[in-house]
Every structure is written in structure tokens, then in C-alpha cells.
């Protein structure tokens, strides 16, 4: 058992559902809206890719024009999420008590990196704006946020591929357990970019049909998405001192690495199963106590099959499994944090959202199709990545 209780008390979210956590309740009842992307400033894809974009976010209206011209899309997303949900938290604390910042991202500002190089090639090195160079590092969005909100206690960027968002949550949780800090804003961020989509397209991971089918034997790939989901983690003392209201409690974390999955593109699911079992052990609960699993299934048949196998190895009962990426798309480093937002919504509303479509699933996984009412106390937010990283966070409903 952990020595400190860590609560989620606030959030700042920009997603395909809209702005804030409240948008998720309605968003989880509707099919996703896809947009076709093909042409970018310096490059064009061979064919259009169906994606799920953020909804309702106007950077100028939220952040103002000043200084925005040199900020890339990823930075605008994270600054917007802070402005819309966490501004008072950051500005209301003095330097010594201001929350730290820990952000997970798979690709960071890769669009800025690629465009900076492309601009120098197309227009010449003497034409490129040298101020744009600051965007060409993976921690640029976190750094910009740190500067704006003067987060002197912690400023970290976690990049572990598709697991980045959930690993940032785990890093923040462990950092607070060790007593280094009383509050951290942690979460995930990812922008849609030409370069990331081109890479995924060439590896055959993109769905040609534009329809994600989590855990399906017949899935043809993932639908890319984007977003930013941030959560304020508070210790029990910080909750009392700042008079904050807990939304949920983080009670367990676990992670592992599957070299066979990373190197050979195949796995028996043992590492992923270990993570699911260990996150329950870390929380001090039985697997039978888990109300539902928020899986990372996305339509990637490799990782979906591994995750399905792991769930079957660990859970004897038919614990309900949902797949929120059917709504949000595959948001890479932001997915773990966005899945947490979805799970919080279901947990606190006594339900489990269904993906809508019925089809044949790997290992006959008990995938929730239609929304069901269930008053769960515990939920696992899981992540299995094709790069071998496996992670899970276990959250508890606040009584």
C-alpha cells in the first residue's frame, strides 16, 4: 500500500468532444466525426487520411493574439488546456507551492521540427525564421507552459511512444509518493501532423476505411486523433490545505516492457498480463474488485490481440471491457490521459460506455457494445503499445 493518498482534483482538457471534462458525458454517446487530411504547408500525403480532430477550440479567443504567431499547434493545445481549466490553480499558488508540470507526448512538436527543416530546404536557410527553432524540441510545449506559469518545482516531458500520456501520470504519481512535491499537473498531449501520419501510414497502421474497430479480428488499422488532457494531482494534505474537491483517487500503477513485442512484432501477452495483475497488487485489491477495464484497443490488430490475451489471462470473470479510442481515435501520447478522462466520466456517472458496433473480437473479449449501468468502485486504465511498453493506472471512485 502507498504511504500517501493521491487524488485527481481538477482538469484541463481539449478533445474531440469539446472543452473540459463535462463534454465527455455527451460525447461518449455519439459516433466520432472524422475529417480527411491530405495537404499540409510543405507536403502532401499520397492519399487522404481520416482523422478525429479537436472540437470547439479557438486559440485566439482563448489565448489572445499576442505571441501566438510563433506557437505551434501542440503548444496552443497545452496552453489552452491550462487556460481553460487550470489557470486559477497555477496563478493562485506562490512559487514554493505551485504545482509541477509533467506532460507525456509521443511526437511532441514534430510538425514544427519537420517544417523548420522543410522551410530551409524549400526557401533557403536565410529565409527561415530563427525564432521558429525553439519549437523544434520535443519538450517545447511543456517548456512554453512552464515559462508562462512559472512552474519551478517540476517541468518534465515523458516520451515513451504510444504510452507517453499514461506514463506521465505514473511518473507524477511516483514523484509525489516520494514526497518531492504536493501537487502536479500531469497528462498527455498530441497534435495531428503530416510527419507522424506519414510514418504510421507507411507502416500500415492507418485505417483505410476511416473506422476504428477495437479488438476486431477484421480491423484495418487505427484512426488518428489528437488532444490534450491534463489532471491536477493533489496529496491528501494539499487537498485539505487548498480546499479542493477530489474527483477520484489514484490507488495503483504498474508498467513493464515486452521486448518480443518491440523487436519481433509478436507476444504471448505475459508482460501485459503482469502489468494488469501488478496494478491490482499495487492498489491492494483483488482482480474481482475491478468494475471495468478502459483498454487501449484501437484497431491495431497486433496490440489489440496482445491486450485481449492479457485480459483473459488475469481476469477469470467477464469483467466489462470498453475501448474509448472508438470515440477519440488513436491519439498516441495523449491517449492514456484521454482514456482516463473517459473512465472518470463513466466511473462517476455509474455507467460503462459502449462502442456501438458488434463484431467478432479477439479471445471473445467481453467488449461493451451498448452503454450499461454499473456502479463501479475501481477501474483500470490500460495501455499496450507496439513499441513494447505496457502500463496501467488503477483509479478509485471517491466515496
* Residues 387, 339 contacting (CB under 8 angstroms): no
**Dist CA 131 CA 135 (whole Å):** 8
- CB atoms closer than 10 angstroms to residue 177: 16
6-248, CATH topology level: Peroxisomal Thiolase; Chain A, domain 1 (3.40.47)
Superfamily for the 252-397 domain: Thiolase/Chalcone synthase (3.40.47.10)
Q: Give the 3-state secondary structure of 334-388.
A: HHHHHHHHHHHHHHHCCEECCCCCCCCEHHHCCECCCCEECCCCEEEEEEECCCC
Q: By the 8 A CB rule, do 221 and 299 touch?
A: yes
Residue-level pLDDT at 132? 78
Residues 6+ apart with CB under 8 A from 262: 386, 387, 388
Backbone angles phi and psi of 391, in degrees to 5: -145, 155
Q: What are 199's strand-pairing partners?
A: none
Task: Give the separation between CA 275 and CA 144, rounded to whole angstroms.
Answer: 34
Sign of CA dihedral 352, 81, 69, 122: negative
Domain coordinates in residue numbering, the chain: 6-248, 252-397
Label residues 351-369 b or e (16+ Cβ within 10 Å = b). Answer: bbbbbeeeeebbbebbbbe
Q: Please tell me the pTM assigned to this model.
A: 0.96
With CA atoms as reference, report the closest residue to 50 among 213, 300, 223.
Answer: 223
d(CA 341, CA 248): 11
Q: Which of 43, 56, 37, 398 is nearest to 227 (CA)?
A: 56
pLDDT at position 1: 63
- Cα dist from 213 to 25, 250, 399, whole Å: 21, 29, 35
Distance CA 369, CA 144 (A): 41
Given this model, what pLDDT does residue 358 score? 76
Tell me, what's the pLDDT at 14? 98
Phi first, then psi, for residue 160 (nearest 5°) are -125, 45
* Secondary structure of residue 184 in the 3-state scheme: strand
Same fold, 6-248 and 252-397: yes
**How far apart are alpha carbons 210 and 29 in whole angstroms?**
19
Mean pLDDT for each 10-residue chunk of the chain (399 residues)? 90 97 95 90 88 96 90 95 95 86 92 85 82 82 91 92 96 96 97 91 90 93 97 96 96 96 90 98 96 96 95 90 96 97 97 88 91 96 96 96
CB atoms within 10 A of CB 317: 9
CA dihedral 189, 77, 239, 92 (to 10 degrees): 140
pLDDT of residue 286: 95
Side-chain-facing half-sphere of 326: CA atoms under 13 Å? 27
- Per the CB < 8 A criterion, the answer to whether 342 and 294 are in contact is yes
Among 228, 189, 361, 376, residue whose Cα is nearest residue 294: 376
* Runs of H (alpha helix) within the chain: 23-27, 59-63, 73-85, 87-91, 110-123, 140-149, 164-177, 194-202, 236-242, 259-264, 270-283, 301-314, 325-328, 335-348
State residue 126's pLDDT score. 80
Amino acid at each position: 500500500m502507498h504511504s500517501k493518498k493521491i487524488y485527481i482534483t481538477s482538469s484541463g482538457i481539449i478533445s474531440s468532444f469539446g472543452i473540459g471534462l463535462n463534454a465527455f458525458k455527451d460525447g461518449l454517446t455519439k459516433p466520432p466525426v472524422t475529417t480527411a487530411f491530405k495537404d499540409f504547408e510543405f507536403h502532401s500525403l499520397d492519399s487522404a487520411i481520416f482523422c478525429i480532430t479537436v472540437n470547439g477550440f479557438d486559440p485566439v479567443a482563448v489565448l489572445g493574439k499576442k505571441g501566438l504567431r510563433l506557437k505551434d499547434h501542440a503548444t496552443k493545445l497545452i496552453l489552452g488546456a491550462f487556460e481553460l481549466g487550470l489557470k486559477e490553480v497555477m496563478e493562485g499558488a506562490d512559487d514554493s507551492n505551485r504545482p509541477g508540470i509533467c506532460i507525456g507526448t509521443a511526437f511532441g512538436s514534430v510538425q514544427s521540427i519537420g517544417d523548420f527543416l522543410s522551410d530551409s530546404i524549400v526557401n533557403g536557410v536565410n529565409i527561415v525564421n530563427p525564432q521558429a527553432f525553439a519549437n523544434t524540441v520535443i519538450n517545447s510545449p511543456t517548456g512554453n507552459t512552464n515559462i508562462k506559469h512559472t512552474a519551478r518545482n517540476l517541468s518534465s516531458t515523458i516520451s515513451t511512444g504510444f504510452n507517453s500520456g499514461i506514463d506521465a501520470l505514473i511518473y507524477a504519481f511516483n514523484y509525489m509518493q516520494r514526497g518531492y512535491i504536493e501537487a502536479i499537473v500531469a497528462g498527455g498531449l498530441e497534435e495531428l501532423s503530416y510527419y507522424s501520419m506519414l510514418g504510421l501510414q507507411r507502416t500500415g497502421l492507418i485505417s483505410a476505411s476511416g473506422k476504428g474497430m477495437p479488438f476486431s479480428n477484421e480491423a484495418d488499422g487505427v484512426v488518428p486523433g489528437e488532444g490534450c488532457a491534463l489532471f491536477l494531482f493533489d496529496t491528501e494534505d494539499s487537498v485539505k490545505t487548498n480546499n479542493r474537491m477530489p474527483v477520484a483517487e489514484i490507488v495503483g500503477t504498474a508498467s513493464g516492457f515486452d521486448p518480443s513485442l518491440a523487436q519481433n512484432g509478436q507476444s504471448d501477452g505475459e508482460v501485459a498480463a503482469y502489468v494488469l495483475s501488478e496494478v491490482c497488487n499495487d492498489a491492494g485489491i483483488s482482480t474481482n474488485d475491478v468494475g471495468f477495464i478502459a483498454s487501449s484497443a484501437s484497431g491495431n490488430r497486433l496490440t489489440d490481440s496482445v491486450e485481449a490475451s492479457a485480459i483473459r489471462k488475469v481476469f477469470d470473470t467477464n469483467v466489462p471491457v470498453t475501448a474509448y479510442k472508438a470515440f477519440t481515435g488513436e491519439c498516441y501520447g495523449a491517449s492514456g490521459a484521454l482514456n482516463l478522462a473517459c473512465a472518470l466520466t463513466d466511473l462517476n456517472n455509474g455507467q460503462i460506455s459502449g462502442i456501438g458496433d458488434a463484431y467478432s473480437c479477439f479471445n471473445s473479449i467481453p467488449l461493451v457494445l451498448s452503454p450499461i449501468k454499473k456502479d463501479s468502485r475501481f477501474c483500470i486504465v490500460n495501455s499496450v503499445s507496439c513499441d513494447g511498453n505496457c502500463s496501467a493506472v488503477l483509479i478509485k471512485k471517491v466515496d
